Amino acid sequence: MDKHRNFCGAFCGSAVEGWIVFYGRLRSRAPQPRTGGKKGRKIHKGTGVVHTKAQCSHPDFSRDLPPFLLVFAAAICYNEGMKEIAALLKEGETGEKFARFYDLLCEWNEKFNLTGIRGREECYRKNFADSLLGEAFFPAGARCAEVGSGGGFPSVPLMIARPDLSFTLIESVGKKCEFLRAAVRELSLPAEVVCGRAEELGKDPAFRETFDVCCARAVARLNTLAEYCVPLVRVGGLFIAYKGDAAGEIAEAGSALRTLGAPLAAAHPFTLPGGEDRRTVAVCKKISATPPAYPRGRGRERSKPL
């Protein structure tokens, strides 16, 4: 995937923009475009996420979009995104790498448990497609860390789709580290594997506040996960958490995120294709250095979460 492309593609962007322009003209009854947009709702062309009360950049857009148009536009973006993901998973060089990655998972899963998801279709949907839902939020050329890599989700699918990304894969279980090294080698991925604990590496100057992005999936509740991940992120970088239907968990983590210097920037909901599995990608922007006391270590991140 080209590093400047996103899952919606040019068609999605132009279609949504066209409907916004059309509706804006109907509402304004102006034969010519007007300058100076007012506040309204804006649809992020890269993700299909609707941002409310944001400044709209298009001069024809002068009033709030009605609910039917918001739903319509978001549906276009979502459907186009799913088509793009399906193409990445099954076609061309990326399709070949995903097939090889699936074979590796099956081979190593017989030795020890890497994933409880069995079968090609379920693995492609719940592991591979799920990992790619957050692709658009990773900046081009980002140096990333992943905490609790396990079977390599979301890092390995992201590197297959986005070879401009590089990863440091942090995993504390030796056997899982062996698998990750095999996957990196077999798939020629831009990654290194570090066998260690995030709460210890977060204190190490070689790792602390050095990454553009730190991400994790299925590791811990968000308030605990933040204390593992945020100390690894440089000021100005991102902490990206892959969660399930996580509204309550996100609200619970608000204080922890602010304490660590990375308040929530946005929470993007998704539904996996072919089912009703709800997912959320929480994106947190690091705006200040993490206080030296964090991570606290000795299991306090889980036993006494912030």
Q: With 90 as the cut, is the pLDDT of residue 54 above it?
A: no
Q: What is the pLDDT of residues 71-98, one digit of tens each?
A: 444 444 555 566 788 888 888 999 999 9
Q: pTM, whole model, 2 decimals?
A: 0.76
Tokens of 264: 């929530």
**So what's the pLDDT on residue 78?**
52
- Helix/strand number for the chain, H first, E second: 12, 9
Q: With 90 as the cut, is the pLDDT of residue 203 above it?
A: yes
For residues 286 and 234, give the distance between their C-alpha atoms in angstroms, rounded to a whole number.
Answer: 7
Helix H or strand E segment including 94: helix 92-109
Band of residue 220 on the pLDDT scale cut at 50, 70, 90: very high
Domains in the chain: ranges and CATH: 9-88 (no CATH), 93-303 (3.40.50.150)
